[in-house]
């Protein structure tokens, strides 16, 4: 048989200062094969991929392309070889149109007119609908990703590298993407698929490499290996999938911590959806889940609950019976409402501030941090160090900028900051979004402990698994309307799926009865 290896890596290493991002990595990628690359955040996956694409230069090691040793000094050279990359953070230009974006990835002899035709052709073949004339800033995340993929495909890549492509997609979009990838592989393209979603890797990858702390720890055939085993290799220890039975077994208190009664909120330019007549109740020690696809009003609900958007259009929000709809963020926080926004980078943390600064911000109700208007510097330091220690935040030190932390560790820090203030209610927006299994299960653990101590929790999430295992009751937000809340043990995933699809409540009810 002919050697079908497209790209092979031998002993590839890269260090940043004393930190080894990648250490002697070997890997072979074959034609027509979907190769999974698994690892926790910070395992070195992204660095490895950047070296393949020519974005980052390796310190040591060899890269061979179709059997010949090559040096990929720039992304351009990588592309000329036939390596197409779709990055985790989009490398699109917002102010340019789709076709302008695509043109930039192509050799200079292309003309824009031809490109439009090609975009249409390729997008029809693979079912990746994009309108070449649209400006990129007006596109949804899913559409943007399609543009990136189309841009790669027009270069006829022999190897397509996808860096966590589904972490920004709705389940439906993710399914479509997987179809496209399988099809591409069928046509002979090699695919490197980076993910920490085990289920996906299990479903579609022919082989997989697992990395940990910059090193390859295992090579597996996912279809034969159990997901649990892959997860434990990824985390370097034992891993047990949490089950509902093992977790949610404490009693819910009788105090109503928070209630929303007929809350309406009109359209605001920065949120796509309005809230209509939302009712909700959270008791002490209860985890209430809110499911729904992205963009169905979760952001606005979060802002209304946190006080970033004050109620003006009717309805009541009561915190221990007291109306708080007109009280702002600081006021609510002082009353004991903790808020964990979805966007860690910029919303819940300031990336250019060190951890001490980030700890202080939003911690005004923590005793001892302030004397009058004066910040107690050593107290602030102790506070940040306390968070780091208690919540297992892995970082070089509290003097380092928040941007130096991985997503998971930053989230643990944010979480710790809120929990240290002993809140009576926590609103957690997609707290495990984009996190690896290890970090996610820690975050889940913190939420559970919190609820056990009698805190009420509102968990807004797109991950149905998470909601099904953690919550007591579950509701679905669809186009700004809240469904009824169902005890989690009594509703099936498919039924939640129907509610997510925006089906009529009564109809969903009927389905439930059948």
Interface residues with another protein (CB under 8 A) are 53, 55-57, 74-77, 79, 85, 87, 90-96, 100-101, 103-105, 108, 135, 137, 269
Nearer to another protein, 59 or 261 (CB): 59
Nearer to another protein, 168 or 393 (CB): 168
Contact present, 323 and 397 (Cβ < 8 Å): no
User: Are β-strands 60-65 and 5-16 bridged in parallel, bridged antiparallel, or unpaired?
Assistant: antiparallel
Minimum Å gap between C-beta 262 and another protein is: 30
3-state class of 237 per DSSP? coil
Nearer to another protein, 76 or 361 (CB): 76
For residues 497-513, b (16+ Cβ closer than 10 Å) or e, as one string? ebbbeebeeeebeeebe
Nearer to another protein, 58 or 357 (CB): 58
Minimum Å gap between C-beta 143 and another protein is: 16
Q: What H or E segment, with its residue span, contains residue 467?
A: helix 464-470
Nearer to another protein, 110 or 250 (CB): 110
Complete DSSP assignment for 116-132? HHHHHHHHHHHT----T
Minimum Å gap between C-beta 358 and another protein is: 22
Nearer to another protein, 134 or 379 (CB): 134
Nearer to another protein, 47 or 284 (CB): 47
For residues 351-369, b (16+ Cβ closer than 10 Å) or e, as one string? eeebbbbbbbebbebbeeb
Beta bridge partners of 60: 13
Minimum Å gap between C-beta 46 and another protein is: 12
Contact present, 491 and 512 (Cβ < 8 Å): yes
Structure tokens belonging to residue 446: 């913190």
Sequence-distant (6+) residues with CB within 8 A of 268 are 300, 309
Measured between alpha carbons, how far is 162 from 192 in angstroms, rounded to an integer?
A: 6
Minimum Å gap between C-beta 352 and another protein is: 13
Minimum Å gap between C-beta 103 and another protein is: 6
Minimum Å gap between C-beta 161 and another protein is: 12
Nearer to another protein, 55 or 227 (CB): 55
* Alpha-carbon distances of 457 from 140, 286, 383, 441, rounded to whole Å: 30, 6, 24, 16
Minimum Å gap between C-beta 66 and another protein is: 20
Q: Residues 350, 18, 400, CA angle at the centre, nearest 5°?
A: 20
């Amino acid at each position: 048989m002919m050697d079908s290896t497209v790209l092979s890596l031998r002993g590839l290493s890269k260090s940043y200062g004393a930190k080894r991002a990648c250490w002697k990595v070997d890997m072979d990628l074959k034609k027509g094969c979907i190769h999974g690359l698994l690892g926790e955040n910070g395992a070195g996956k992204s660095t490895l991929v950047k070296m393949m694409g020519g974005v980052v230069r390796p310190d040591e090691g060899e890269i061979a392309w179709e059997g010949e040793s090559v040096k990929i000094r720039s992304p351009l050279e990588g592309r000329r070889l036939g390596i197409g990359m779709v990055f985790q953070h989009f490398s699109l230009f917002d102010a340019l149109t789709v076709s302008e974006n695509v043109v930039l990835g192509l050799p200079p002899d292309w003309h824009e007119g031809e490109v439009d035709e090609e975009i249409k052709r390729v997008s029809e073949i693979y079912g990746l609908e994009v309108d070449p004339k649209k400006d990129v800033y007006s596109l949804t995340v899913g559409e943007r990703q399609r543009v990136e993929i189309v841009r790669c495909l027009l270069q006829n890549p022999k190897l397509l590298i996808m860096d966590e492509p589904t972490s920004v997609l709705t389940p439906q979009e993710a399914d479509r993407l997987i179809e496209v990838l399988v099809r591409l592989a069928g046509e002979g393209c090699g695919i490197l698929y980076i993910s920490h979603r085990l289920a996906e890797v299990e479903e579609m990858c022919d082989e997989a490499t697992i990395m940990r702390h910059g090193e390859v720890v295992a090579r597996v055939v996912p279809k034969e290996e159990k997901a649990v085993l892959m997860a434990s290799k990824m985390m370097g220890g034992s891993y047990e999938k949490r089950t509902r039975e093992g977790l949610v077994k404490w009693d819910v208190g009788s105090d109503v911590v928070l209630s929303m009664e007929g809350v309406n909120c009109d359209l605001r330019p920065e949120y796509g959806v309005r809230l209509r007549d939302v009712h909700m109740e959270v008791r002490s020690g209860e985890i209430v889940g809110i499911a729904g696809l992205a963009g169905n009003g979760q952001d606005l609900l979060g802002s209304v609950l946190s006080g970033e958007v004050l109620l003006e259009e009717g309805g009541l929000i009561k915190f221990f019976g007291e109306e708080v709809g007109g009280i702002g963020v600081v006021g609510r926080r002082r009353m004991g409402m903790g808020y964990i926004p979805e966007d860690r980078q910029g919303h819940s943390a300031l990336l250019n501030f060190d951890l001490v600064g980030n700890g202080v911000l939003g911690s005004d109700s923590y005793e001892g941090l302030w004397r009058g208007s004066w910040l107690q510097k050593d107290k602030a330091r102790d506070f940040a160090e306390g968070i780091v220690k208690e919540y297992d935040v892995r970082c070089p030190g509290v003097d380092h900028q928040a941007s130096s932390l991985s997503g998971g560790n930053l989230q643990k820090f944010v979480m710790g900051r809120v929990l240290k203030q002993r809140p009576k209610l926590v609103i957690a927006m997609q707290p495990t979004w984009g996190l690896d299994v290890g970090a996610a299960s820690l975050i889940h653990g913190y939420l559970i402990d919190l609820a056990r101590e009698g805190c009420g929790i509102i968990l807004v999430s797109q991950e149905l698994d998470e909601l099904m295992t953690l919550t007591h009751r579950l509701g679905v937000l669809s186009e700004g309307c809240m469904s009824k809340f169902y005890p989690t043990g009594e509703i099936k995933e498919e039924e939640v799926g129907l509610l997510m699809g925006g089906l009529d409540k009564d109809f969903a009810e009927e389905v439930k009865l059948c």
